[in-house]
Amino acid sequence: MKCVFCDIDFSKIENTIIYESEFFYVLPTIGSLVDGYILIVSKRHVNSSACLNQYELNEYKNLISKYQNIFKKVYGKTPIVFEHGTYDKNSASSVIHAHTHIVNINFKNEKEILDKYNFFEIDDFSLIEKSRNYIKYISNDKIYITYDFPSVSQFMRILVSNEIGIYDKYDWRSEEFLSNIISTIDKLKGE
């Protein structure tokens, strides 16, 4: 099966490069649930950020920090960051290629989510187990991991769509949100 991130069609608006580094693309995404929804996508095909080499991992951490700061400036708040880390095909990731979501929202019930799905805080990305599916969640510079979550495709997108009150519109395959994509590009390209 063809990997959508290995064969990105840059002619599509949702694949507009907002920023490109040595190892990553920063793109808006089809299914942008809100204005201010981007992906950090590894240029190299690896299952998850836990599989990045040290050079890639350093750049990855810098990109997350960079875009947290840009979101604070552009949108006035720190975004949430998440990744459905994939070890095997039974993961909650709908695309098995390292990509991290940065989303312009904050969960009102964050503590409940963290408790319900057994998220625990870690100090560094290198502590993520490479041999398990996981969800990484970053909020206000704290990194959380869980290995205990429903194996449901787009699980975190479901939580985001519930938070913003569009309960049945989480699926990027059927919900495009073109106006959010365009607004995100306008506000973030060149930042």
Q: 3-state secondary structure string, 10-48?
A: CCCHHHCCCEECCCEEEEECCCCCCCCEEEEEECCCCCC
* pLDDT attached to residue 182: 96
* pLDDT attached to residue 91: 56
* pLDDT attached to residue 126: 84
- Residue ranges of the chain whose pLDDT lies below 70: 1, 88-94
* pLDDT attached to residue 125: 86
pTM score of the predicted model: 0.94
Cα distances from 40 to residues 17, 28, 96, 101, 166, in angstroms, run 10, 9, 14, 7, 24
* pLDDT attached to residue 15: 93
* pLDDT attached to residue 80: 97
